[in-house]
Amino acid sequence: MMSEEQYYKKAKKIAKAKKDFRTMLWIFSFLTPVLIFINLFTSPGYLWFLWSVLGFGIATAAMYYEAYIKPRHEERESHEVEKEMEKLRMRDRKYVDKNTKQDDFDEHLDLRELRKDYDDRDFV
């Protein structure tokens, strides 16, 4: 289980990743037509803008993964871990209930004695 502060930090990180992705997508959408125009106007024989678009596209896809896919995957994985932990706890409880009598269980308890920091003469 995560604390509220951990939930806040994780949510803030995801929100920032989504904002960064939207910014990158906007820049990609604006810059691609500009690069195409410059390429076709200056050197139509070689389509160099494809390299820029490819690199920018890969970076944008990576940011999409970080913002939208990865958090769901981590959430699913965390949920699976919690389910497995609960199964193990249930199995251990059944084993203790089945193979241990209450008297046996009480013998294994480690109880401390109370310290005697008083004098018996203090009591009436």
CA distance 92 to 69: 35
Residue 17: pLDDT over 70: yes
**69-92: pLDDT as tens digits:** 998 888 888 888 888 888 888 888
Whether 111 maps to a domain, the answer reads no
- For residue 124, being part of any structural domain is answered with no
Determine, yes or no, domain membership for 109.
no
- Residue 16 forms part of a structural domain: yes
Confirm whether 108 is domain-assigned. no
- Contact predicate 21/66, CB 8 Å: yes
Using a cut of 0.95, tell me whether the model's pTM lies above it: no
Q: What is the number of structural domains in the chain?
A: 1
Residue type present at position 45:
G
pLDDT tens for 97-110 read 666 555 555 555 55
C-alpha 75/C-alpha 11 separation (Å) is 12
Q: What's the domain range around 59?
A: 4-102
d(CA 49, CA 9): 39
Query: In residues, how long is the chain?
Result: 124
pLDDT tens figures, 52-64: 999 999 999 999 9
In a domain, 52, yes or no: yes
113, part of any domain: no
115 in a structural domain: no
